[in-house]
Structure 1
Amino acid sequence: MEQILLDWGEAIPAHVAVPAGDATVAGVIVLHEIFGLNADIRRIADRFAAAGYLAVAPDLYAHQGMRPFCVLRTFLTLGRGSGPAVDMIEATRAWLAKHPRVDASRIGVAGFCMGGSFALLFAARAPLGAAACFYGAVPERAEELEGICPVVAGYGERDRLFAPAGRRLERLLATLGVEHDVVVYPDVGHSYMNRHDGCLNWLGAVSPMHVGYDEAAAEDSWRRMLGFFGR
């Protein structure tokens, strides 16, 4: 596990996935779901590396106390638009920009659920080339996304909580004239790109969000995301 140094001297753990070879490559920040920096998020970062990106997945819960409290603090940061989690994402971007293998002009962000919400928030204020938001919350007003880079996104129609956010995101980006590719997949629920283990599979399937991995939608989203980031 890599350590990324913050401006105030603390370090945060992060999973770093480096592509083979020594060529200069694009970088991507991978932002985790509410479940934290787990094996699934590390798998996603590794897949980015296999596709030729230097990917970093920071632990947004680092240095924020016991898990229930750090989750709450992270969501409060999301609501305010500033705080420790945003600082960690910026520190990750700065770390990537200084990495000898990374082209600092080609850094993107990809987030899932909570991480997707942070991806949109961060992409509206940071120098990024592209952002990917999968089933994340979306601001109500276009003004909150002003200055955002091109966006690729995906949502599941069966996800009663977040499907409307996907449609709103497409409207807001169109209003702002931002290049985008947003798809709401029919017959698909929440977290369709993430592989959850154990009881999460059962609980998610019976929830109004219809949480569950969907191979077809996930692979299509990977195709769209990598194509979008590669422009």
Structure 2
Amino acid sequence: MFDQHTRSLLPDAELSRRQFVLTSLAAGFALAAQPISAQTIVTDTAGLTTAEVSIPAADIAFPAYLARPEKGTRFPVVIVIQEIFGVHEHIKDICRRLAKVGYLALAPELFARQGDVSKLETIGDIISKVVSKVPDAQVLSDLTTCVAYAAKTGYGDIKRLAVTGFCWGGRMTWLFAAHEPRVKAAAAWYGSLVANPRNNPDFKPDPLRPTFPIDIAPTLRTPVLGLYGGKDQGIPLETVEQMRAALAKGRSGSKIIVYPDAPHGFHADYRASYRREDAQAAWKAMLAWFKQHGAA
């Protein structure tokens, strides 16, 4: 359940009280992500050290996946923020891809307090039963805890800190870049930008998600690269243009690339939404962005 390091930090009473909390990562892919595409990329662990780790926060210890080069020390750090499907095999593979090019990549399970999405069979259940109950403040706090954890491993150089995230994690990438001043560069993949993208007259603000990327754009200081699809049905292009205009009011140097024919989730190689050429181009753009801004 808890590793020895985490156990040493928690009183016995606290250990027994927290047994219900998700303490391990999903194996394979989330049920709601099925069926899995034949195009799915599998990155091997040759030359890498990979592990499921337990990260102690103030109230719980939450699991995370860590990948880094096997040899060497003081690697630049990338915090990888999950999709709504949690830290399943695709997110782990992204960490291994980053480790292959020299990063210590760390993907925390940010839904640990609210539930295990890997066992839920529909996206609707994931959103209603888990994701809708996750406060932004909790996520930002856990991500900051991950930065400290990466430094304490003795292998991570948080002076070269980057963050990237996908879909749900794309929105949180924008917010964490604004929240954590140590982030040198960020790459947000098709994360929502405004609270009410379809201008629904019945829209009600969510107190757990009070801020959206467009709200922080004018005061953002960290350079964020936004990677979006021109045929994303959930993120209208007009909201992308609104975000660009808001960013232009600030001094972060952030920019957004739109891949005209790409749908939402175009990087998710395990799903039908995958667009190989756009995904590869965006991945190269992300790595170049990190290098350009001192996170490599």
> Do both proteins adopt the same fold according to a TM-score greater than 0.5, normalized to the shorter chain?
yes
Q: Which has the larger displacement, 143-152 or 120-129?
A: 143-152
Q: Which amino acid aligns with 2:57?
A: L
**Which of these residues, 282, 288, 292, is aligned with residue 221 of structure 1?**
282
Task: Tell me the TM-score normalized by structure 1.
Answer: 0.84
User: Does the aligned pair in 2 maintain the 1:28–1:56 contact within 8 Å?
Assistant: yes
User: Does the aligned pair in 2 maintain the 1:135–1:155 contact within 8 Å?
Assistant: yes
Superposed counterparts of 1:110-149, under 5 Å: 110-127=164-181, 128-139=183-194, 144-145=216-217, 146-149=219-222
**Is 1:183 matched with 2:237?**
no
**Which residue does 2:157 correspond to in 1?**
103
Q: Which has the larger radius of gyration?
A: 2
User: Does the aligned pair in 2 maintain the 1:7–1:91 contact within 8 Å?
Assistant: no
The gaps in structure 2 that reach 5 residues or longer are: 1-51, 118-125, 195-211
**Which residue does 2:228 correspond to in 1?**
155
Q: Which has the larger displacement, 16-25 or 44-53?
A: 16-25
Q: Which amino acid aligns with 2:186?
A: A
**Which residue does 1:59 correspond to in 2?**
109
User: Does the aligned pair in 2 maintain the 1:41–1:57 contact within 8 Å?
Assistant: yes
Query: Per the alignment, do residues 188 and 41 of structure 1 end up closer, same or farther by CA in structure 2, a change over 3 Å counting?
Result: same
Aligned residues: 211
Shift of 1:51: 1.0
4+ residue segments displaced more than 4 Å: 139-143
The two structures, once aligned, show a CA RMSD in angstroms of 1.8
Q: Which amino acid aligns with 1:62?
A: A
Give % identity.
32
User: Does the aligned pair in 1 maintain the 2:175–2:213 contact within 8 Å?
Assistant: no
Query: Per the alignment, do residues 105 and 16 of structure 1 end up closer, same or farther by CA in structure 2, a change over 3 Å counting?
Result: same
Shift of 1:168: 2.8
Could you tell me how far apart the structure 1 residues matched to 2:84 and 2:215 are? 26
Could you tell me how far apart the structure 2 residues matched to 1:143 and 1:61 are? 24
Task: Tell me the TM-score normalized by structure 2.
Answer: 0.67
Q: Which amino acid aligns with 1:144?
A: I
Q: Which amino acid aligns with 2:192?
A: A
